[in-house]
Structure 1
Amino acid sequence: MARRLGHVAYNTQMTRRSAVLLIGLLALLLCIQTAAQDVTSPNHAPALNQSPATGQAQPNEQLPPSGAGKELQPSTGKGDPDAIAAVIRIEGMIYDFVLDSLQRRVDRALGAGATMIVIELDTPGGMVTSALKIGKYIKALPARTIAWVNNEAYSAGIMIGSACDELIMSASSATGDSAPVSMNKELAATERAKALSPIIEEFRDSATQNDYDYAMFHAMCVLGVEVYQVEHIESGRKQLVNQADYQMMVLAKSREEALAAVKPEGEQVSALTVGRVSVDVATDAEIGQWKLVKQVHDGATLLTLNQTRALEIGLSKATVKNHQELGDWLGGATVITINQSWSEDLAGWLIHPAIRAVLIVAVMVGAYMEFQAPGLGLPGAIALAALALLLGAPFLVDLSEIWHVLLVFIGIGLLMVELFITPGFAVFGILGLIFMFTGLILAIVPTSGPIGLPAKEMLNLLGMSVVWTLLGVIASTVCLIFLIRHMGWIPGLSRLVLHDRQEALLGGAMDTTAVGGSEVLGHGTIKLGDTGRVTAQLRPTGRAEINGQLIDVVSSGEWIEPDKPITVIEIHGNRIVVGPDT
C-alpha cells in the first residue's frame, strides 16, 4: 500500500509540472503565431528614426505624413531633405515568409511617415514563385522604392531588385545569374520553358516600368545572349542590346539577315524555345543609326555584374557604402531602419540548424528519461516541447510542408513498433530513424516543384541541415550512453527513477550498488534463467533486483510494473533482457 501511495504522489507531482509546461508551450506557440500573422497598425507602429548625419536615434521626432503617390526623384540622388527613407533588410534565402515579413515592415514604415522604401538585399536567391510575388507587391507600393544590393543579390534577389524604381549597390557587391535550376535533373525543354517564361516576363515588365534595358536581364537568365552597349549617332543616347539588335542597329543588317546571323547552325525552330535571342528593340528606322561603344557580355556564361560594371552600364545608379552615404545620395533624407519583429527573430533563431541540433538532443534524451519514470514527467514535457518547436517553427515561417511532418510522425510510429512490438528486429527502428530525420532535415529547406524537393540553390542550406542533424544525433547518442550507465545515481536525476523510494519502503534491505550487464557478467553472477523483481517500472528499460543487486535491464517489449517478478531471458554483452516470470 505504501509503495502504491508513493507512485501516486510522484505521478501527481510530475503531472502538475507537465501541465504547467505544456500550457506554457502552447501559449508561447500561440503568441509566436499571432505575432507572425498580425500586421502592425500603421498609426501605432514603432520605427527607429535616425539622423542622416550621425545615424543616432532621435527621440520624440515628429515625422511627416507619407506621400500619396510615386513621384520619383532624379536618379542623381537629389531629393527632398525632409524625406524619410525606411531601410528594410532582406537577408538569406527567398521564400514566402520573406514576403509576409516585408509586408508587415513596409506597413510599419509607411505608418512612420516614410516616403521611400529602401530594400537592402543580401541573398543568394531562392524560390522563383516567392520572388514573383514580392516583385508584384513592390511594384504596387505607393512610395518610391530603391533596391540596395549590400553584398549580393543573385537569382531571385535580382528579380526583386529589378522590381524597384532604382537600384544601387554597395562596395564589393555583385548581382545577376538568374537562370532557373532543378536539384533533381537537367531541365527538359518543356520544363525549362515553363520555368523560364514567368521569369523572363517579370524581368521584361520590370525593365519597361523602371526604364532598364531588358538585354542585361535576358543575359542573366539565358546562355548565349550577348550584350552590347551602343550609342545613337545623332542624339548620343546609350542603350544595351542583344546581338540581333546589334546586327540591325550597328551593322545595318535587315531583320531577316540579323535573325539568320544569330541563329545557331542547325538549330530547329521550336515552339518550346523560350528565351531565344531575337530582334527585341531595333526597328527598320534605326538600321545603321547606332555605333558600338563596347561589348558588355559574350554570352558564354550567365551575366553577373559587380558594382563597378553595374554602374557603368546603368543598372546601378550609385555605389553606397552605408546609411550615411545613402542619406546623402538621397539628398539629405532621414534614414530609419525597420527591423523584424521579436517573433520573426525568434522563429528565425529556432530554424537555425545548430539550434535544431540542440532540440534533437532534448527530444531524444527527454524521451529516454521519460521511459525511466512512471507517469508523464518533466523529461517527457521537455521532449514534447522540443518536438513541437522542431515541427512548429518551420511552419511559422512557411518553410515546412505537411509531408515533412508526416515523415517525422511515421518515423516515430516505426520506432514505437520497434520498441514495443518487434524489439531487436532492427528493420523498423532503422526505417523509423530514416523517415524521422529526413523529415527534420527537409523541414527548414525551401522546396519547389510538384513533390516539394529542394531547388539547386538550396544545396548549401540542405548540407548544413544534414550536418547539424547528424551532430544532434551523435550528441544524443553520447548523452544516452552516459545516462544508461549513470542516470540513477546522478544528483537530481535520480529522482526520476523510483528505486530510492521503493528501497526505503522495503526497509533498505537490498544492495544499492548499481551493476551494469557487462560488470555482472564479468563476475559471473547473472545467467539465463535467473529471477528477480522490478524496482523501477520497465518502459521497456529500467532496473530490477536480481541476486540482491540493482541491475540495468530491458524488457522484451512490454511494460512491466514495479515489484513484478521477472526472468532473465537474453544476455547480449552489457544488455540484459528480462521477461515476466510466469
Structure 2
Amino acid sequence: MRTLVSTRRARSAALLLFLLIGPALATLGLAEEGDPPVAATPRVLWVPFEGVIGTVASHFLVDAIDEAEKRAVDAVVIEIDTPGGLDTAMREIVKRILASRVPVIVYVSPSGSRAASAGAFIALAAHAVAMAPGTNIGAAHPVNLGGAPSDSTMSEKATNDAVAYIRSIAEERGRDAEWAERAVRESESTSAGDAVRLGIADCLAATRAELLQLLDGREVRIGGEATSLRIRDAVIEELSMSRRYRFLGFLNDPTVAYILLMLGFYGLFFELSAPGHVLPGIIGAICLVLGLFALKSFSINYAGLALMFLGVLFFAAELFVPSYGALTAGGAAALLLGSVLLFRSPAPFLRVSLAVILPAVLVTVAFFAFALAMTLRIRKRKPTTGRRGLIGQTGVARTAIRPRGTAFVSGSHWNAESDEPIAEGDEVLVVSVEGLLLKVRPSGRSRKDG
C-alpha cells in the first residue's frame, strides 16, 4: 500500500514538472526555428579632442582606447580638430590605434575643423574616417623641430621617413597611398568632399547620428580578421578630458609656459631683493617649476633659457651695482633674445608669438627701470637717521657755548662745540658730528626755550 502511494506521488510530480518545463521548451524551439534573438543595443565611446598633438594628447587618446577596450564597446569615435603637433606623440597614438581590439573611427568635426600634419597620420591610421562638411585633411610635411636651418640631406631623410610611414599606414587601411605621399612631400591638403571621392575618408557626416548610420555595416579588420561595424542607433558614451588632463592641456601651451617662467622670475626676484615677504617667493617658485614642467613638452633651445636667466640677473644686479643703465640695457637684450630663441619649432602653434614676447619684455624693462630710478633717488637722498642724519639739523643751545656747551638737537641732549660764541636759548645748526660731539654754529636766529 505504501509503495502504491509513493508511485502515485512520483507520477504527479513528474506531470507537474512537465507542465512547467514544457512551454519553455516549446518557446525555445520556436525561437530557434523563427526570428533570431534581439541583439544587445550597440555602444560607442565618443572621445572629443581639440588642440595640438603633444604629450597630453597622446596620453589622453591612448587612455581613451584602453578604456574602450575595457568597456567592450562596439567602436570608439575620436572627434578631432588639430593643426598637428609633435612627431613622437603622433606615433604613440598611431601605434595604439593600429593595435586596438576595438574599431577606431576618426571624425574630423565640427565644420571648420582640420586634421592637419600629425592629425592626418592619426586619421589615416583609423579603421574608418568620417569628415564633417567644411573640414579638411592633409598638409603633413614634416617641420624641422630644431628651429635652425637644416641641410638638405637631413631634410630629405626626415621627409623620406615620413613618406614611408604614412604610405605604410595608408596601405594597411586600404587608402590612397599616392595621395598620402603627396600630403607629406607637397603638403597637399584636401577638403572633406574631395577626401571622400579620393577614398581618404569613408563618408561625409554632418551629425553624430548620420555618422553612425553611414558607417554601420562597414567591414574593418581587427587583428587581421574582418568584422563589420554594428553601430546604427548606438548608445553614445562620451569620454571627455578629466580635470587633470585639462590642467595639463592648459600647461601644454608655449605661451602659458613662457608666462609662467616670467612670473617665476618676478616672484623669486621680489623675495631675494626683500627677504621675509614669503608669498612672492612661494608664488614665484611654483610658477617657475610649472613653467619648466611645461617646457618638457616642447623642443626648446637651452641657450635661449640661459639668456632669459642672464637677463633677469642683469636687471637684479642693476639695483645693487651703479652701472648707469648698462646692466638694464644688457638685461633687456638678453631677455628678448632668449625669449625669441627659447622655442625651436618653426610651427607657429609650437612657439611664442612676438605679440606676447615684446609686451612681456617691455613690461619687465619698465618695471626694473622704475625700480632703478627709485633706488637712485633713495641713494641721493640726504640721510635722515643716524649720526649722518644730524648734519643740517637745527636745535637749541641749552647752555652758553663758548666754545663748548650743550645743545638740544633731534630730541636729545648733545655736547656741542662752536667756533663762534652762542648764547643760551639761541638756535644752532649742526655742521658735523665727531663721535658724541656736535660741531655747531649759530643759525642766525635767536629764541628762548620757554
Question: Of the candidates 92, 103, 110, which is equivalent to residue 133 of structure 1?
Answer: 92
What is the Cα deviation at residue 158 of structure 1? 0.7
What is the Cα deviation at residue 95 of structure 1? 2.8
Distance 1:145 1:357, change over 3 A: closer
Distance 1:213 1:432, change over 3 A: same
What is the Cα deviation at residue 431 of structure 1? 4.6
Helix, strand or coil for the counterpart of 1:89?
strand
**Equivalent in the alignment of 2:289:** 388
Asked whether the 8 Å contact 2:257–2:294 carries over to 1, the reply is: no
Q: How does 1:380-419 map to 2 (within 5 A)?
A: 380-395=281-296, 398-399=297-298, 401=300, 403=302, 406-419=306-319
State yes or no: 1:161 paired with 2:161. no
Question: Of the candidates 424, 439, 442, which is equivalent to residue 323 of structure 2?
Answer: 424
Whole-Å separation in 2 of the counterparts to 1:112 and 1:174: 31
Distance 1:478 1:163, change over 3 A: same
With the length of structure 1 as denominator, give the TM-score of the two structures: 0.49
Distance 1:438 1:311, change over 3 A: same
Asked whether the 8 Å contact 2:117–2:139 carries over to 1, the reply is: yes
Asked whether the 8 Å contact 2:142–2:158 carries over to 1, the reply is: yes
Asked whether the 8 Å contact 2:77–2:104 carries over to 1, the reply is: yes
**Equivalent in the alignment of 2:236:** 335
State yes or no: 1:201 paired with 2:155. no
Asked whether the 8 Å contact 1:105–1:340 carries over to 2, the reply is: no
Asked whether the 8 Å contact 1:533–1:546 carries over to 2, the reply is: no
Helix, strand or coil for the counterpart of 2:61?
helix
Q: Would you say how many aligned residue pairs link Structure 1 and Structure 2?
A: 333
**Equivalent in the alignment of 1:180:** 142
Asked whether the 8 Å contact 1:361–1:473 carries over to 2, the reply is: no
What is the Cα deviation at residue 379 of structure 1? 2.3
Question: Of the candidates 200, 204, 221, which is equivalent to residue 319 of structure 1?
Answer: 204
With the length of structure 2 as denominator, give the TM-score of the two structures: 0.62
Whole-Å separation in 2 of the counterparts to 1:545 and 1:391: 51
Q: How does 1:549-560 map to 2 (within 5 A)?
A: none
State yes or no: 1:113 paired with 2:84. no
Whole-Å separation in 2 of the counterparts to 1:546 and 1:214: 90
Distance 1:108 1:180, change over 3 A: same
Which deviates the most, 369-378 or 165-174? 369-378
Once the two structures are superposed, residues 429-457 of structure 1 have per-residue CA deviations (whole angstroms, 9 ceiling, x without a partner) of: 555555556656666x5xxxxxxx21x3x
Asked whether the 8 Å contact 2:311–2:334 carries over to 1, the reply is: yes
What is the Cα deviation at residue 328 of structure 1? 3.5
Matching residue's letter, 1:122: D
Whole-Å separation in 2 of the counterparts to 1:168 and 1:189: 36
Matching residue's letter, 2:185: V
Once the two structures are superposed, residues 274-304 of structure 1 have per-residue CA deviations (whole angstroms, 9 ceiling, x without a partner) of: xxxxxxxxxxxxxxxxxxxxxxxxxxxx432
% identical equivalent positions:
23
Which deviates the most, 137-146 or 106-115? 106-115
Asked whether the 8 Å contact 1:176–1:303 carries over to 2, the reply is: yes
Distance 1:96 1:381, change over 3 A: closer
Structure 1: unaligned runs, 5 residues or longer: 1-79, 224-301, 446-452, 487-514, 521-525, 535-543, 549-582
Whole-Å separation in 2 of the counterparts to 1:480 and 1:406: 19
Question: Of the candidates 334, 357, 374, which is equivalent to residue 469 of structure 1?
Answer: 357
Asked whether the 8 Å contact 2:254–2:295 carries over to 1, the reply is: no
**Equivalent in the alignment of 2:445:** none
Which has more radius of gyration?
A: 2
**Equivalent in the alignment of 1:459:** 348
Question: Of the candidates 142, 145, 154, which is equivalent to residue 101 of structure 2?
Answer: 142
Whole-Å separation in 1 of the counterparts to 2:390 and 2:125: 73
| Greater length-normalized contact order (CA 8 Å, ≥ 6 residues apart) | 1
Distance 1:484 1:189, change over 3 A: closer
Whole-Å separation in 2 of the counterparts to 1:424 and 1:484: 10
Matching residue's letter, 1:399: F
Asked whether the 8 Å contact 2:328–2:365 carries over to 1, the reply is: no
Distance 1:222 1:140, change over 3 A: same
Helix, strand or coil for the counterpart of 1:219?
helix
Distance 1:416 1:474, change over 3 A: closer
Helix, strand or coil for the counterpart of 1:120?
strand
Q: How does 1:65-144 map to 2 (within 5 A)?
A: 82-144=41-103
Structure 2: unaligned runs, 5 residues or longer: 1-38, 215-230, 394-450
